[in-house]
Structure 1
Amino acid sequence: MKKGINFLDYLDVDLALSILTRLDNPADVVRASVVSQSWHHFVVANRLFKQLCLRMFPHISDLRFIRPNNESLSVDVETSNPMEWKILERDHKAYASLIQAFTKSKDNPKDCIACVIGASSTDRDPEESVVHTLFPIDRYMWGGSYWSSKGQTNPDVPETLIYKLISDVCVVTEIDIRPFAVYWEPGSPVYSAKSVRFRMGHLKSPRKNGIDFWHLPLQQPAEDKFIWSYTSPEFPMTQENHLQQFKLPEPVLCIGGCLQIELLGRAQREEIDGLFYIWAFKNLETCN
């Protein structure tokens, strides 16, 4: 650049910003930031990584702790004090790391549920605990491995399952659920939901807001303890005993590591008591 022409010196800030914000590849933003010291300052001061990250994951703009400020995207670095510049550098590295984690993990998906926080209801605990949805088998030596809701006369009563993910920052691409076939009943009926919806977010309090993770799962975990920053579309579920894949419309950046599965509607009535139940064998998170 010593012998070349720095076009940023010849353009006003708005025009230069209009050009560089059209970069949609994180690698190009990195390249722009290392052209020279002045380019690095421009990329950091104008939060190009933050803007790119919010375009890739628009729902995270609603999260309180990473909400974009209302100030102008253009910052005069020459007049910024050291503390302001430190904040800009920190945000630059944070959003760059988020994008890097996403792009690197595309080719290495993994299951990322860590534990169960709770279920809205359980028919018999611990025999039919929601903890069983984490196991890769559908039978123990002494019986089935599944979760069952309480029975309802109204088939429209929903159920919710809440899980803690393995990290407070996860990129979720799909959720897989296998309804349980009650093999000891005639015809092995499948007690699935009619449809399913997913929410992701975080606890309201950084101190877990009263939730003791050493004593889980909880029955009817309080909804007011969570903030759900993302809600998926509603997906139809088939009444079949196989792992059903629900691919999200776009990868979701879950900050806070809490997942809620909403099971909407009940498809099967039990002949013995005439009540509607939902039974699930396994819930898998495909995460990055």
Structure 2
Amino acid sequence: MDHQKNETPNSFIDWLETDVSLYIMGFLDDPADIASVSAVSSHWRRFVIENGLAKQLCLKTFPQLSGVVGVVNATEGTTNSVAVKASSAVEWAILKRDHWAYASLLQAILKSKVSPKDCIANAVSASSTDNYPDESVVNTLNPRDRFIRRASYWSSKGQSNPDVPEMLVYKLSAGIWVITEIDIQPFEAFFQMGKPIYSAKFVRFRMGHLKSPKVIGDDLQYLPLQKPDDDKFVWTYTSPQFPMTQENCLQPFKLPEPILCTGGYMQIELLGRVQRQEIDGLFYICVCYVRVLGRPLFPAFDMEILEPNGELLLKFYPKNLNCVLQNSSRDEIPELRHLEEKMLWDRIGLLEDLLRGIQQRPNNVLALEEDDDEDGMDADLVP
């Protein structure tokens, strides 16, 4: 390339074939190592950039990025704003841009000091729902088991076979998230004899993105689908199974390693049923609350799904990188403050829409009676 200079060979990179040098460099597993190699000489820096070592390390550490087909520097657009006279100069500018983006992404993932937070934006679907809308998956966004004098939980349909699984799908907030933990609280039916807890035996998690932005309609902005929708997604990560205990508490499930959710969707698989309902003898799974803990890479990084094949475009905002690296307060990051406020109001709106739908039904069920207990509610349900 015309930017290269003739240098006296003085390292293995100069003497070995490129594929052998790349094999050796493949043992680097820390972004600091990539930076150190780049600092050895201008020749080594060219080698690192031309061969995309930062990107290779990203893909090796986080294979969820394998669907990314391009990078956009949001400051400059799809191509760098440089005066070029030859295609080699254009290629070099693109290589430098991609190197900068992936090296910064690695730094943001591994060095970020932002505290984990709940990143669920809304509920998308449930594989089944027993009593819709009373027992909608939207209820799992509420950290309490009661909402405005009503029991608040999602319930599957009953099954005679305890091995029938259930799936819940959630949309995460905008941007890319580094997910570390998912917390789930099974529902204790305080209105049934013996207060049974309808937990699953095991849980498993998947993360990914839509096959196309158009496969789910605008109606999901209001109330979720009440049918399976697994065919609409590309799942880029599947966790191991975790045992769930039959206890009325928020149970933490820590992932073996931090996972990048690049497309904003997460599926919870609830595997195996442990509790029969006395009234019909069928097995159910009921969930009171779901929380997904992660660190946001937004507003420094975002992901766009490209039509028509659902490929991913990584969007890099260099001016916002320090917001992610430092544990800044949310007041110092307007984008994050706006995002959190929108998430809160979206959740309130979903719960209000659900309640409105329940109230409009002619035969309401599951109403709580006021009492003098500490919650101002009675534990019994009345028709």
TM-score (structure 2 length as normaliser): 0.64
Q: 1:261 to 1:44 in 2, by over 3 A?
A: same
Deviations 1:16-40 (A, max 9, x none): 4455443322123224334544333
Cα distance in 2, alignment partners of residues 148 and 105 from structure 1: 37
Does residue 42 of structure 1 match 2:53?
no
Shift of 1:64: 6.2
Cα distance in 1, alignment partners of residues 179 and 287 from structure 2: 21
Pair member with larger Rg:
2
8 Å CA contact 2:197, 2:248 repeated in 1: yes
Does residue 58 of structure 1 match 2:63?
yes
Q: How many residues are aligned here?
A: 271
Does residue 33 of structure 1 match 2:38?
yes
Does residue 218 of structure 1 match 2:242?
no
* 3-state SS in 2 of match to 1:101: helix
* 3-state SS in 2 of match to 1:103: helix
1:188 corresponds to: 195
8 Å CA contact 1:117, 1:221 repeated in 2: no
Shift of 1:159: 0.8
Structure 1, 9-18 or 223-232: larger mean CA deviation:
9-18
8 Å CA contact 2:203, 2:242 repeated in 1: yes
Does residue 85 of structure 1 match 2:82?
no
Does residue 228 of structure 1 match 2:235?
yes
Cα distance in 2, alignment partners of residues 24 and 250 from structure 1: 15
Structure 1, 196-205 or 35-44: larger mean CA deviation:
35-44
Cα distance in 2, alignment partners of residues 185 and 281 from structure 1: 15
1:73 corresponds to: none
Cα distance in 2, alignment partners of residues 18 and 149 from structure 1: 51
The one-letter code matched in structure 2 to 1:96 is A
Deviations 1:43-91 (A, max 9, x none): 1111111121122123543x3647xxxxxxxxxxxx9723433432233
Q: 1:262 to 1:214 in 2, by over 3 A?
A: same
Cα distance in 2, alignment partners of residues 178 and 241 from structure 1: 7
The one-letter code matched in structure 2 to 1:136 is P
Identical pairs, percent: 58
* 3-state SS in 2 of match to 1:89: helix
Shift of 1:143: 2.2
8 Å CA contact 2:64, 2:261 repeated in 1: no
Structure 1, 225-234 or 93-102: larger mean CA deviation:
93-102
> Following superposition of structure 1 onto structure 2, how do residues 238-257 of structure 1 map, counting pairs within 5 Å?
238-257=245-264
Q: 1:156 to 1:22 in 2, by over 3 A?
A: closer
Cα distance in 2, alignment partners of residues 152 and 210 from structure 1: 28
8 Å CA contact 2:201, 2:272 repeated in 1: yes
The one of 274, 277, 283 equivalent to 2:284 is 277
> Following superposition of structure 1 onto structure 2, how do residues 1-288 of structure 1 map, counting pairs within 5 Å?
7=11, 10-12=14-16, 13-14=18-19, 16-61=21-66, 63=67, 65=69, 81-105=88-112, 108-205=115-212, 207-212=213-218, 213-288=220-295
Structure 1, 272-281 or 27-36: larger mean CA deviation:
27-36
The one-letter code matched in structure 2 to 1:155 is P
8 Å CA contact 1:118, 1:217 repeated in 2: yes
Structure 1, 139-148 or 97-106: larger mean CA deviation:
97-106
Structure 1 unaligned residues grouped into runs of 5+ = 67-78
Q: 1:53 to 1:182 in 2, by over 3 A?
A: same
Cα distance in 1, alignment partners of residues 174 and 93 from structure 2: 26
Shift of 1:280: 0.4
The one-letter code matched in structure 2 to 1:166 is S
Deviations 1:246-277 (A, max 9, x none): 12222211211110101111111111122211
Cα distance in 2, alignment partners of residues 118 and 150 from structure 1: 14
Q: 1:209 to 1:34 in 2, by over 3 A?
A: farther
1:76 corresponds to: none
Cα distance in 1, alignment partners of residues 217 and 278 from structure 2: 37
The one-letter code matched in structure 2 to 1:287 is G
Q: 1:80 to 1:19 in 2, by over 3 A?
A: farther
Q: 1:208 to 1:30 in 2, by over 3 A?
A: farther
The one-letter code matched in structure 2 to 1:25 is D
Shift of 1:115: 1.0
Structure 1, 129-138 or 24-33: larger mean CA deviation:
24-33
Shift of 1:9: 7.0
Cα distance in 2, alignment partners of residues 154 and 106 from structure 1: 46
Shift of 1:229: 1.5
